[in-house]
Structure 1
């Protein structure tokens, strides 16, 4: 299945898209990998979805990635005696450790870590920012605040803390249980870690995962931006989670942060996903707004590795149409006359490594000679990542003998992954590459391709060789 599209599409599964037939329709419409939201999916549901995805993968013959998104800490106020209360800007309102029902003056906050961490002057945003409070007095047991804006608060509304660094890690007890269940399947490729604040938040999940899944850090806290380079270094990928980020940061700053994060990940050669409300209106409408189409196109122009659908594909009325629309917008942007120039202007300088030098040379040769494809043999996935980092104008075919590697690379920009045995010798390496390029629809007899591989063959992390090959009339190497 030749997508003829470089940016990848990550579709969330849910009530509208949990059946196997629908998953196949979403994949055929353009979804390259699927997200299972552990905030809503039980372990049984997760295992069922994984089985259905793998069944579709087997039928379609193309590696499909699976992302399990951990819920992370959900901070909420307690309940009120009358379900909700009315407030006025300027009045005093207290959050405390008493579990008595709340009233117009106070409410229970069942999170001692917040009571201990908030300092005078810190903001507390309730219900996605609809109510804004500012702390004026804190003693570790209660937080006396002034209402800045908003007029009401009701039971169990969420609390966001844009100015406060919490002492707790990103993994909750529920997350640990969910992570164990995810790892036990041996069939999930990525785990997304919610509400990352600091590099240390990644330590526990890395220790538990032990390399069995890729770790994707969701950036939705201002504190994460202060140490973003360290977080990127310790992550396998990043997600720009614009929903919570837009609550804790001024909305008008989110587009700039999105650009900053995409470019930082491109420099580091780490995949980056842009998420949240990309085609929000398609939850209930068959077509998106013009602004949403523009939003998707900006992420594609910036060179994001993947763009994500949430409720649009999970619970919306038009999941297939949403995926098809996102694929159509992305493909159109990539054919735009301005696209190559914009992508090239943001291309990162190669690092002083053999893999980077080989990837740079492969891209330059392919574009100079107008070759049909760059083919890279990759066992661990590193060579595929470095080839993608160069953002070549020609297709990249990533050949791997390891299905788990191919699935994990399904989130990476421009990579068309094919599972194949390691080559037995140099002749087999070239013939195999030529044959796959033709069979996958990226070239034809008479075309030329460039191949990067490691010698000795099959040695992980040893990419040290380039070979230009001519596709003969039989689909094998002619020279």
Structure 2
């Protein structure tokens, strides 16, 4: 199944898209990998969805990635005696450790880590920012606040802390349980970590995972931006989670942050996913708004590796149409005359390594000679990442003997992943690359491709060779 675009599509599964037939339709419509939201999925449902995705993968013959998205810490107030209260701007309102029903003056906050960390002058945003409080006094048992804006607060509403760094890690007990269940399945490729604040938040997950899944850090808090380079370095990928980020940051700053993170990940050679409300109106409408189309197009123009659908594919009335629309926008943008100039002006300088020099040379040769494709052999996935980092103007076919590598690379810009055995010798390497390029419709007899591989063959991390080859007259044998 050849995609006529480079950006990948990550579709969230849910009530509207949980059966195998619908997953198949979403994949055929353009979904390259699927997200399982552990906030709404039991361990049993997660295992069922993984099994259904793998059945679709077998039917389609293409590696499909799976992302398990951990919930992260959900900070909420307690309950009110009457379910909700109405406040007035300027009044004082207290959050405390007393497990009693709330009223117009106070409410229970069942999170001692917040009571310990909040300082006078810190903001507390309730219910996605609809109520804004400013801490006036604080101690380990209560926070006295002034109501800045908003009037209503009700049971179990969420609390966001844009000015406060909590002294707890990003993993909750639920997350640890979910992570253990995900790793036990041994068929999930990525784990997304919610509400990352600092590089240390990745350490525990990295220790537990031991390389069995890629770690995708969701950037949702301003504290993460203060040490973003270190977080990117320790992550395998990043997600620009604009929903919570737009609550904890001024909403007008989110587009700039999105560009900053996209460019930083491109420079580092790490995949970046742009997420949240991309085609929000398609939850209930068969077509998106013009503004949503522009939003998706902006992410594609900027060179994001993937764009994500959330409720649009998980719970919307038009999940297949949402995927088709996103794919159509991506194809149109990538054929826009302005696209090459924008995408290539941000091309990062290669690192001073042999593998990076080989990837740079492969791209330059392929574009100069107008070759049909770049074919790279990659066992660990690093060669595929380097090839994608160059954002070449020709297709990239990533050949891997490791199915887990091919699945993980399904989130990476421009990579058409194929699972195949390692080449036995140089002739087999060329023949195999030519046969696959022909079979996957990236070249026809007489076309030329460029192949990157490592000698000795089958040695991970040894990419050190380039070879230009013709696709033979029979469409199968490289000469």
**Do the structures match in fold with TM over 0.5?**
yes
- Deviation digits for residues 150-180 of structure 1, max 9, x if unmatched? 0110000000000000000000000000000
**For 1:353 and 1:173, how far apart are their aligned partners in 2?**
41
Corresponding residue number in structure 2 for 1:35: 35
SS of aligned partner of 1:428: helix
TM-score (norm 1): 1.00
Task: For residue 55 of structure 1, report the CA deviation from its aligned partner.
Answer: 0.2
Q: 2:465 matched to 1:465?
A: yes
Corresponding residue number in structure 2 for 1:153: 153
SS of aligned partner of 1:366: helix
Task: For residue 476 of structure 1, report the CA deviation from its aligned partner.
Answer: 3.6
Corresponding residue number in structure 1 for 2:238: 238
Q: 2:270 matched to 1:270?
A: yes
SS of aligned partner of 1:63: coil
- Deviation digits for residues 266-288 of structure 1, max 9, x if unmatched? 00000000000000000000000
SS of aligned partner of 1:239: strand
> Where does structure 1 differ by over 6 angstroms across 4 or more consecutive aligned residues?
none
For the aligned residue pairs, the C-alpha RMSD in angstroms reads: 0.5
SS of aligned partner of 1:422: coil
Structure 2 unaligned spans of 5+: none
Task: For residue 4 of structure 1, report the CA deviation from its aligned partner.
Answer: 1.4
Corresponding residue number in structure 2 for 1:285: 285
- Asked if 1 retains the 8 angstrom alpha-carbon contact of 2:283 and 2:316, the reply is yes
**For 1:429 and 1:338, how far apart are their aligned partners in 2?**
37
Q: 2:65 matched to 1:75?
A: no
- Asked if 2 retains the 8 angstrom alpha-carbon contact of 1:469 and 1:477, the reply is no
Corresponding residue number in structure 1 for 2:47: 47
**For 2:236 and 2:447, how far apart are their aligned partners in 1?**
35
**For 2:267 and 2:278, how far apart are their aligned partners in 1?**
24
Q: 2:19 matched to 1:19?
A: yes
SS of aligned partner of 2:124: strand
TM-score (norm 2): 1.00
Task: For residue 399 of structure 1, report the CA deviation from its aligned partner.
Answer: 0.1
**For 1:465 and 1:332, how far apart are their aligned partners in 2?**
35
Q: 2:320 matched to 1:320?
A: yes
Alignment map for 1:44-443 (pairs within 5 Å): 44-443=44-443
**For 1:330 and 1:98, how far apart are their aligned partners in 2?**
52
**For 1:288 and 1:476, how far apart are their aligned partners in 2?**
43
Task: For residue 477 of structure 1, report the CA deviation from its aligned partner.
Answer: 4.4
**For 2:355 and 2:386, how far apart are their aligned partners in 1?**
7
- Asked if 1 retains the 8 angstrom alpha-carbon contact of 2:430 and 2:478, the reply is no
- Asked if 1 retains the 8 angstrom alpha-carbon contact of 2:362 and 2:374, the reply is yes
**For 1:245 and 1:320, how far apart are their aligned partners in 2?**
27
Task: For residue 297 of structure 1, report the CA deviation from its aligned partner.
Answer: 0.2
**For 2:304 and 2:353, how far apart are their aligned partners in 1?**
24
- Deviation digits for residues 366-423 of structure 1, max 9, x if unmatched? 0000000000000000000000000001000000001000000000000000000000
- Deviation digits for residues 188-236 of structure 1, max 9, x if unmatched? 0000000000000000000000000000000000000000000000000
Task: For residue 116 of structure 1, report the CA deviation from its aligned partner.
Answer: 0.2
The size of the alignment, in residue pairs, is 479
Structure 1 unaligned spans of 5+: none
**For 1:74 and 1:33, how far apart are their aligned partners in 2?**
26
**For 1:437 and 1:104, how far apart are their aligned partners in 2?**
68
**For 1:175 and 1:45, how far apart are their aligned partners in 2?**
16
**For 2:122 and 2:446, how far apart are their aligned partners in 1?**
66
SS of aligned partner of 1:47: helix
- Deviation digits for residues 97-142 of structure 1, max 9, x if unmatched? 0011000000000000000000000000000000000000001110
Task: For residue 474 of structure 1, report the CA deviation from its aligned partner.
Answer: 1.4
**For 1:476 and 1:450, how far apart are their aligned partners in 2?**
15
**For 1:288 and 1:367, how far apart are their aligned partners in 2?**
36
